[in-house]
Amino acid sequence: MEGTIEAVAPGRSGDAVWRAAIDKVLGDPDQPTLVFQPIIDLRRGVVAGYEALSRFAGPPTASPDVWFAAADRLGLAAQLEARVVTAAIAARDRLPAGCFLTVNISPHLMHQPELADVLAAAPDLSRLVLELTEHVQVDDHARLTALLDRLRAVGATVALDDAGSGYSGLQQLALVRPELVKIDRALVDHADRDEVKLALAELLGSYAGRLDAALIAEGIERPEELEAFIRMGVPLGQGWLFGRPSPTWTSLAPELGERIRALADDRSRVDRIASLVERTTAISDSDLGQVPTVFCADPSLEFVAVLDRNDRAVCLVRRQLRSGDSPGETHVLSVSLRASADADVADVATRAMTRPTGTRFDPVVCEDSFGGYAGIVRPERMMLRLAQLTSAPASADSPDRELRLVGAAVRTEE
């Protein structure tokens, strides 16, 4: 946790100090200030997004968590979070191209007028990720999920913070169905030396994958941790190894980007579905009427993907190829299975083959690290790849050995 904490105990005198401090912040339109920490694509070795973090000038001198806890205790948290969300929405308009911005938000405060009004007033929340914290239990989940659905309808993405920190986190995953899931930093810290942590993170990744969510490993500070989570296939990472929070949009050091790509390439050569992705024509869901024209323009085209405003596939349209069907006949297929591009072929094939009979051989929709459409993978191609992997002789020089060598090179250069 960043910053030092000046002990101001809860109670009449302590709360008076905090109320005065928070009132002062709320009275200053430039407070709190925002800094931005990069979130890295662990396959491409580039910045995929940023997290907006609050900074308070004080006094008291305390970490942001302490400020927000004091505001919550005093009934001022909704006002303070509304100030931060407003600033984040404004900062999003200055984002580098192709990046998203996450901002922390407390689920139990989202219906408070101060915060609800800020969210309702934004006509477009695309490229903004609402990162839900779970520090306070939410009682009315139906109300929360209905609100999140409305925010998603105007472009917002939902993330769950600190997943894996407790049983309530698993409940939140099942109820909220986020698009992004942050692995609790306690599971990341020295995970390369702790098989239990790695197993828990892998289990969480499998669970999140079933919900079509992508993982972010938070708190990566050491090259060994980076190596472990790339090897596991976690698509996104955040931590001091990549960059400290900054008032500006920082980029990833070129040499670190190269290391990440080398590690990812070594892992994903044959056993990841990224190598099986088939690029197909994609159109917006507002252009459905153009599907016949698209098929007529390319007689060899079998599938067209229909995407929403966030580039997420909502369905596939298949040209009907069976004999006896009239020319130009098409069928709409719902998306019965999504998988991250770095997912294991065997895992995705198992999930595909356990779908209901009517959808078992439908294509799997492949997504990038932020849930965007990347293409389709046909089940038959996965079966052929599994056959190849099963029959291939074991390599004398394993990928794990190569990863250790690269990790050693990274450490040597520091």
In whole angstroms, what is the distance from residue 278 CA to residue 283 CA? 16
- Residue 301 phi/psi, 5° resolution? -75, 130
Indicate the pairing of strand 33-41 with strand 236-238.
antiparallel
The pLDDT tens digits for 252-293 are 999 999 999 988 876 656 677 887 888 889 999 999 888 999
Q: Which residue has the higher pLDDT, 172 or 70?
A: 70
Mean confidence (pLDDT) of the chain: 84
Element (H, E) at 175: helix 167-176
b/e per residue 148-182 (b: at least 16 CB within 10 A): beebbeebbbbbbbbbbbeeebeebbeebbbbbbb
Element (H, E) at 364: strand 364-367
Sole residue written with tokens 């303070």: 80
pLDDT reported for residue 263: 85
pLDDT reported for residue 136: 54
Res 171 pLDDT > 90: no
CA pseudo-torsion sign 199, 343, 228, 393: positive
58 to each of 18, 72, 82, 88, how far by Cα in Å? 10, 17, 19, 21
Q: With contact defined as beta carbons under 8 Å apart, do 214 and 235 qualify?
A: yes
Res 175 pLDDT > 70: yes
pLDDT reported for residue 267: 64
The pLDDT tens digits for 205-240 are 888 888 888 899 999 999 999 988 987 889 999 999
pLDDT reported for residue 389: 72
44-53, 131-140, 366-375, range with greatest mean pLDDT = 44-53
Mean pLDDT of 289-313: 90
Mean pLDDT of 380-386: 87
pLDDT reported for residue 118: 96
Q: Can you spell out the DSSP letters for 285-298?
A: GGGGGGHHHHHHH-
The pLDDT tens digits for 61-115 are 999 999 999 999 999 999 999 999 999 999 999 999 989 999 999 999 999 999 9
Reported as a pLDDT band with limits 50, 70 and 90, residue 403 is very low
Least Cα distance to 25 among 74, 72, 71 occurs for 71
Q: Can you spell out the DSSP letters for 254-310?
A: HHHHHHHHHHHHHHSSSSBGGGG-B--EEEEGGGGGGHHHHHHH-TT--EEEEE-TT
* Phi-psi domain of 239 (left: phi exceeds 0; alpha: psi -120 through 50; beta: other): left
Reported as a pLDDT band with limits 50, 70 and 90, residue 184 is confident
Model pTM score: 0.69
Indicate the pairing of strand 46-55 with strand 33-41.
antiparallel
